[in-house]
Amino acid sequence: MNVQCISELTPDERRVLFKRSGGVTDAKDTAREIIGRVREEGDVALRDYAREFDGCEVGNIDITADAARASEELDADLRAHIETAAANIRAFHEAQVPDDWRQSFGGRELGRRFRPIKRVGVYAPGGTASYPSSALMGIIPAAVAGVEHIAVATPPAETLDPVTLAAIHIAGADAVYQVGGAQAVAALAYGTETVSSVEKITGPGNRFVTAAKADVRGDVDIDFLAGPSEILVLADSTANPAFVAADVVAQAEHDPNASVVAVTDSEALAESIAESIDAQASGREREDIIRETLSSDASGVFLARSISEAVLFAEEYAPEHLSIQADDDEALLERIDSAGSVFLGPYTPVAAGDYASGTNHVLPTNGGARVTGGLSVETFLRSSTVQRLDRESLSNIRDTITALATAEGLEAHAVSVERRFSEE
Ligand code: NAD
């Protein structure tokens, strides 16, 4: 990998780097066509697409019972690890459950109450890799929030991954369907003979899944766009280049459309990181995917003229995963607002959050961190406000209400307040 100076990037190179569409834009038309066919043909289309994209014949689309069986038959050791990860994820998400509250604001009793969405669909990806971890990450927050019906869609295969199925069951899914890609999103959004529709679709996926979520948004709610993975490592001269490179290579193995970036103010470190990335990529099981990611215009090792320039670069990039490997990491973090999930220090690899520390790994990509955080219990809750006024607190704002209502030409609004005082 070459090291590039941030200050020498042409406006075009900078635009491509920050745009990093992850291929989602190119997948829009395909996703729309798939959604249209699923709406018209239902299960028939799901079976056809399984043949075309997943190379398999699908018998039962509903595999809820298979997931339960896979969980019973799972190797005891692996099951224990899944349960450890699940317990850590559950504990962190239980700590997020907001309490209903009411407070007096000058006699006006106002508050918020939180209730779970009733029916949600969680996408558990599984095309080029299996993602039991994403099943845990998607389902557990929904279960903690108290969602009544959690439907899970995961790509079909000649032999379904038993670990993903077991994780789906352990996490607490109510219904499981073998359907992947844009067709899964369409089925969850609009329903088919077998798949019943939901009110919100969540979860990560490749560019087709992500483009489909963007397309159905409006007819059904979605969490946010969680597409091909990204990492930005912000490092100073004290960082261990092998640790930085290991995190970069790990993220690069997800998808050839992933984006991996390291930025530092140390020229020597930048060179060592670039060398270590090349060395660590060699011989990996998914080396082809890693190399494709590393060679994309949306990936690279970048040299900043100062740590401030590096911080500004990271903030503008708004990565899905931000790893800070620097002497005073907390001080650098203070200057960053836009990141999906932050990993501080040399012993906090992104893989810890991917699997088992407890935080959620379903995170906004493509700059989404500028406006939202990752999947959480709140993703599965809606809030209503509640209020009670007494005669005195209403009379305190009586003139303000009637003045504004009159200004808007909504006389009946003003009357609805005045009526309370004219019937004494
Ligand atoms: P996937 O389940 O997302 O996609 C597989 C499906 O894609 C297949 O079932 C198929 O239907 C569809 N597909 C494949 N080729 C197609 C084509 N040419 N046309 C139309 N549809 C096609 O699994 P994956 O591909 O392994 O990707 C998983 C993705 O999830 C990766 O990009 C990874 O980076 C991402 N991910 C993101 C996060 C996050 O939080 N942002 C977390 C975990 C994983």
> 188-215 pLDDT, tens per residue?
999 999 999 999 999 999 999 999 999 9
- The whole-angstrom separation of Cα 207 and Cα 185 is 12
| Ligand 1: residue whose CA is nearest its atom 18 | 53
Instruction: Report residues whose beta carbon is within 6 angstroms of any ligand 1 atom.
Output: 30, 49, 53-54, 125-129, 131, 134, 155, 180-181, 204-206, 208-209, 226-229, 254-255, 258, 320, 361-363, 365
The sheet with strand 101-105 has its strands ordered as 101-105, 108-116, 381-388
DSSP state of 8: G
The reply to whether 347 sits in an annotated binding site is no
- Helix or strand or coil: residue 35? helix
Q: Residue 266's pLDDT is what?
A: 98
For residue 291, how far is its CA from the centre of ligand 1 (angstroms)?
18
What ipTM score was computed for the predicted complex, to two decimals?
A: 0.97
Low-confidence ranges of the chain (pLDDT < 50): none
- The whole-angstrom separation of Cα 262 and Cα 381 is 36
Q: Give the count of beta carbons closer than 10 Å to the beta carbon of residue 71.
A: 19
Which residue(s) pair with 149 in the sheet? 119
What is the number of alpha carbons within 13 Å of residue 298 lying toward its C-beta?
25
The residue count of the chain comes to 424
| Ligand 1: residue whose CA is nearest its atom 15 | 53
| Ligand 1: residue whose CA is nearest its atom 24 | 127
**How confident is the model over 257-313, as pLDDT tens digits?**
999 999 999 999 999 999 999 999 999 999 999 999 999 988 999 999 999 999 999
DSSP state of 89: H
- The whole-angstrom separation of Cα 279 and Cα 250 is 13
Going along the chain from its start, the domains and CATH numbers come out as 3-22+228-348 (3.40.50.1980), 24-226 (3.40.50.1980), 389-421 (no CATH)
Question: Does residue 139 contact residue 150 with C-beta atoms inside 8 Å?
Answer: yes
Q: Residue 423's pLDDT is what?
A: 67
